[in-house]
Amino acid sequence: MSLTIYVLSLQFRITFNWLLFTDHARATLLERSIYIIHIDNSLMPKAFATHHYWYLTTVDSLQSASPSTNMLYTYNHVLQGFSALFSNDELDHLKKSPGFVLAYKDKNPIAIASFVAIEKGVFVATSAGNNGLESATLHNDIPWALTVAARTVDRSFVGTLTLVALYSSRGPSKNCPGILKPNIMAPGSLVLAASIPSQTTAMTGSGTTLSSEYIMMSGTSMACPHIVGVAALLKCAHPEWSPAAIRSAMMTIANPLDNTNNPIKDKGQKLKMASPLDIGAGQIDPNRALDLGLIYDDTTEAYPSLDLNYPTFVALYNNRSKSMIQNFKWTVTNVGDGAVTYKSKVTTPKNCAVKVSPDTFVFERMLERQNFSLTMHYIGRNSGIWLASLGGLY
């Protein structure tokens, strides 16, 4: 098991507007709207043992229905609060509750549909978008779906380098900055794609229009089908795997190197080394994904709190302190054959100390699970974001 940590200096605004949708919520949609509620947790009454129970009690006091039917999820990261269904009158009463900070409506049909699909065991991948070089431009940063960036295709006689495409939208996620987005990269430039036969694809010098059933197209929408195809193959090979297990398989073996065995370069940044905010865990490697040792599995119950067993992590820091310690925890599952031993290998950047505990994993049987933690101690001055990719688990 290897761990590679990247450092970037980056400023961005953090907001949360995630939406989960249940069968009960659909039934009450005509009467209530979905709101994201920001809460000041420092004002939680001492009578409550946890913030989650405080939120449930607050919702219950405002609604006649059971709180479990109208509370959609809670979050506790840079901001704290919950999402729930409220009528206008209920929202007015909520604004008078202790700790209330802000409320706003939220609608995200892709997030709704993808969560329902994953809840049924269906893997979901989305394109990152084609908004180019600016940071935080990707539009599909749903935590439970795999977000796909695009790269160039090495079919040129001039060169063979794999590059990050100019148009591919970049991270970080504005909605969930603690989760690395995009997740992975696949070929997206000059892909031979099906076309509408009656649509004009070219024109001769004399003005005659030409059409074709196929056309060369570029975009993250060309990259995303590659990932879905690999996911289908993995599901066939491992029908018992969950969507999270399939995501883990692709991300942990993704390759951050090009086909000259050098770091992937960013075509839009004068061929500088691409960062995880550009390429996620790296470019997809289908064959290696079939032969894994460890995976990071997860269940849909973990998504409402965003307490995910994700194969990457993001550690945020600021310039208010010269020293910061952050802790992360994961569970890995042995999907290899029988007994095996893994030892962690950590590559750390300047001004950072990283400890993995335990640093050695001894598995006695297939499907055995073990927990491990990582503590990162950073000493520095610049505000920004730490990004680390947990890879090489094969």
Q: Does residue 272 register a pLDDT over 80?
A: yes
18 domain residue, yes or no? no
Do 76 and 200 reside in the same domain of the chain?
no
Report the C-alpha gap between 261 and 74 in whole angstroms. Answer: 43
Domain end call among 65, 81, 107: 107
Do 205 and 65 reside in the same domain of the chain?
no
Instruction: Give me the sign of the Cα torsion angle 260, 266, 270, 273.
Output: negative
17 domain residue, yes or no? no
Do 118 and 29 reside in the same domain of the chain?
no
For the segment 18-36, the average pLDDT, to the nearest whole number, is 46
Report the C-alpha gap between 366 and 42 in whole angstroms. Answer: 45
The model's pLDDT over 50-92, given as tens digits with 9 standing for 90+, comes to: 888 899 888 888 865 444 447 777 877 656 888 888 888 888 8
Helix axes 220-237, 243-252, angle to 10 degrees: 110
Do 236 and 274 reside in the same domain of the chain?
yes
Do 74 and 148 reside in the same domain of the chain?
no
Do 95 and 222 reside in the same domain of the chain?
no
Say what the pLDDT of residue 128 is.
Answer: 95
For the segment 41-51, the average pLDDT, to the nearest whole number, is 89
Q: Does residue 13 register a pLDDT over 50?
A: no
Higher per-residue confidence, 221 vs 380 = 221
332 domain residue, yes or no? yes
Q: CA 90 from chain center: how many Å?
A: 33
Do 293 and 204 reside in the same domain of the chain?
yes
102: CATH: 3.30.70.80
170 domain residue, yes or no? yes
Say what the pLDDT of residue 307 is.
Answer: 79
117 domain residue, yes or no? yes
Domains held by the chain: number = 2
Q: Is 215 exposed, middle or buried (0-12, 13-18, 19+ CB in 10 A)?
A: middle
Say what the pLDDT of residue 319 is.
Answer: 62
Q: Does residue 2 register a pLDDT over 60?
A: no
Say what the pLDDT of residue 383 is.
Answer: 53
The model's pLDDT over 240-251, given as tens digits with 9 standing for 90+, comes to: 999 999 999 999
334 domain residue, yes or no? yes
The model's pLDDT over 275-287, given as tens digits with 9 standing for 90+, comes to: 889 999 999 999 9
The model's pLDDT over 148-182, given as tens digits with 9 standing for 90+, comes to: 999 997 665 445 567 889 999 999 888 778 889 99
The model's pLDDT over 296-333, given as tens digits with 9 standing for 90+, comes to: 999 887 876 677 899 888 877 666 667 788 888 999 99
Higher per-residue confidence, 13 vs 139 = 139
pLDDT bucket at 16, cuts 50 / 70 / 90 = very low
Domain end call among 107, 124, 140: 107
Instruction: Note down the domain range covering 56.
Output: 23-107
Q: Does residue 392 register a pLDDT over 80?
A: no
The model's pLDDT over 184-202, given as tens digits with 9 standing for 90+, comes to: 999 999 998 888 888 887 8
Domain end call among 79, 107, 135: 107
Do 65 and 117 reside in the same domain of the chain?
no
123 domain residue, yes or no? yes
Q: What are phi and psi of 164, to 5 degrees?
A: -75, 130
By percentage, how much of the chain surpasses pLDDT 70?
80
Say what the pLDDT of residue 107 is.
Answer: 65
179 and 314 Cβ atoms separated by less than 8 Å: yes
Do 118 and 65 reside in the same domain of the chain?
no
Report the C-alpha gap between 277 and 388 in whole angstroms. Answer: 11
357: CATH: 3.40.50
Q: Does residue 15 register a pLDDT over 50?
A: no
> Considering the chain, what is the average pLDDT of its residues?
80
Do 61 and 153 reside in the same domain of the chain?
no
Do 54 and 197 reside in the same domain of the chain?
no
Do 316 and 182 reside in the same domain of the chain?
yes
